[in-house]
């Protein structure tokens, strides 16, 4: 429903702005550019989706090997002691923990198709413990916020879009996105813990959070004294090692468990093909709307106004051109993806704005969509503090992304 209103707003406002401009100036060029934009955006959407078929097939095939080889299960066992303590409302040993851990683990590994069913299952299992069926429990809210904070280890789709848009090294945003999502997840966790009065000063919780924080701090400290060129090279090196390491570990674990690695890859690749085909109409729809919005000049008016406001407080206004992606992300993942692609096509995939848009896209998940789907699946109407805490996580991701983009890419 939200995306419907957004799409209508973009189309109607773009055409009205173009008509007003024509009436004032008498220039037919604006109307012609709008018509041209519809065809070029539709072509771009199809070409991007076509390319994604190969990339998604590859990576979902790799991820299926990891899933069948036990990599997701190993990750679940590693993080299980931590989750038990931040979900005090769920009895120890309850079946919901398995679904929660599997959902969040799948999200971190980029297994979107597997993550959603697991998430819905976790929500249904937590709903069994809910005495007020229309009001979200503390555990359900914590689960939602951890989902919306978007902690991702491998941003497969973003790297795929960067490749299609001509990035010299599509994986150079890997490390910045990883750090950004860590901070957004940490902000969401802290926000929910404060509201729900969860004690994070437990030994196990501090060990997990302290260990992750120390690792991120070491990463930031190690690059703080480097030039932007050196930081970029380090990011590329670390990204390449991690990505290749993941593939190697997945294949070896699957082989050791006597999994038919080839068949597992084909199974996952088929899912990738289906996913790529399914998103073609959605991607074309949003790219046409965003393209019209930009071609009419409406987007420029909005961005110029924000730039004027920001300039009242600081001289650093480069990030403003990437803000449409950040504003759209909590409302619509498809809409934010459209703005991200538009930014890379307009400014260049390796530009500051192009990279920052990718970081905004990867900094959090679609808060309102996830809330609607997960809570709607069990009939919850009173979401309590879920939206507020989710948006706090989103805001933290945006702020950290701006800071890190300057640090990593100058």
* pLDDT reported for residue 126: 92
Other Cβ atoms less than 10 A from the Cβ of 397: the count is: 30
- The pLDDT tens digits for 205-240 are 889 888 888 887 887 777 666 665 676 677 667 667
Q: Give DSSP secondary structure letters for 233-264.
A: HHHHHHHHHHHHHHHHHHHHHHHHTT--HHHH
CB 401 within 8 A of CB 340: no
CA 77 – CA 79 distance, rounded (Å): 6
CA 85 – CA 80 distance, rounded (Å): 9
The partner residues of 382 in beta bridges, in order of sequence, read 135
Sign of CA dihedral 274, 276, 282, 288: negative
* pLDDT reported for residue 252: 93
Report the chain's C-alpha Rg in angstroms.
22
* pLDDT reported for residue 392: 92
* pLDDT reported for residue 396: 92
* pLDDT reported for residue 192: 94
* pLDDT reported for residue 402: 92
State whether residue 70 is helix, strand or coil: coil
- Residues of the chain falling short of pLDDT 50: 2
CB 331 within 8 A of CB 387: no
CA 359 – CA 394 distance, rounded (Å): 12
Two tokens at 126? 């937590």
Exposed, middle or buried, 365 (CB in 10 Å: 0-12/13-18/19+)?
A: buried
φ and ψ at 6, to 5 degrees? -65, -45
CA 251 – CA 261 distance, rounded (Å): 7
CA 183 – CA 188 distance, rounded (Å): 9
CA 369 – CA 247 distance, rounded (Å): 31
Count CA within 13 A, CB hemisphere, residue 58: 11
């Amino acid at each position: 429903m939200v995306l419907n209103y957004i799409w209508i707003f973009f189309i109607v406002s773009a055409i009205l702005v173009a008509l007003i401009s024509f009436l004032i100036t008498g220039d037919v060029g604006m109307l012609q550019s709008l018509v041209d934009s519809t065809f070029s955006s539709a072509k771009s959407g199809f070409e991007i989706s076509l390319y994604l078929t190969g990339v998604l097939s590859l990576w979902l095939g790799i991820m299926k090997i990891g899933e069948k080889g036990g990599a997701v299960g190993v990750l679940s066992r590693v993080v299980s002691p931590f989750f038990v303590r931040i979900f005090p409302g769920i009895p120890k040993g309850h079946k919901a923990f398995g679904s929660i851990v599997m959902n969040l683990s799948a999200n971190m590994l980029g297994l979107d198709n597997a993550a959603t069913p697991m998430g819905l299952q976790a929500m249904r299992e937590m709903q069994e413990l809910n005495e007020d069926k229309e009001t979200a429990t503390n555990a359900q809210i914590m689960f939602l916020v951890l989902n919306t904070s978007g902690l991702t280890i491998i941003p497969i789709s973003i790297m795929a879009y960067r490749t299609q848009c001509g990035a010299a090294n599509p994986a150079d945003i890997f490390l910045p996105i990883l750090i950004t999502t860590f901070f957004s997840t940490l902000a969401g966790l802290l926000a929910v813990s404060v509201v729900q009065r969860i004690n994070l000063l437990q030994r196990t919780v501090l060990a997990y959070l302290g260990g992750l924080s120390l690792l991120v701090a070491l990463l930031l400290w190690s690059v703080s004294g480097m030039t932007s060129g050196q930081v970029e090279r380090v990011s590329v090196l670390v990204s390449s090692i991690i990505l290749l390491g993941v593939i190697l570990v997945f294949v070896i674990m699957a082989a050791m468990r006597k999994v038919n690695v080839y068949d597992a890859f084909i199974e996952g690749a088929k899912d990738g093909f289906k996913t790529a085909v399914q998103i073609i109409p959605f991607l074309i729809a949003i790219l046409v709307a965003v393209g019209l919005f930009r071609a009419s000049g409406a987007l420029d008016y909005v961005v110029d106004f924000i730039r004027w406001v920001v300039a009242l407080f600081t001289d650093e206004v480069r990030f403003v051109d990437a803000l449409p992606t950040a504003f759209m992300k909590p409302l619509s993942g498809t809409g934010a993806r459209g703005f991200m692609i538009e930014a890379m096509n307009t400014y260049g995939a390796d530009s500051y704005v192009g990279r920052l848009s990718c970081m905004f896209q990867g900094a959090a998940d679609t808060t309102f969509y996830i809330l609607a789907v997960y809570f709607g699946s069990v009939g919850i109407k009173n979401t309590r503090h879920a939206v507020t805490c989710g948006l706090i996580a989103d805001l933290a991701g945006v702020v950290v992304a701006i800071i890190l983009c300057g640090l990593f890419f100058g």
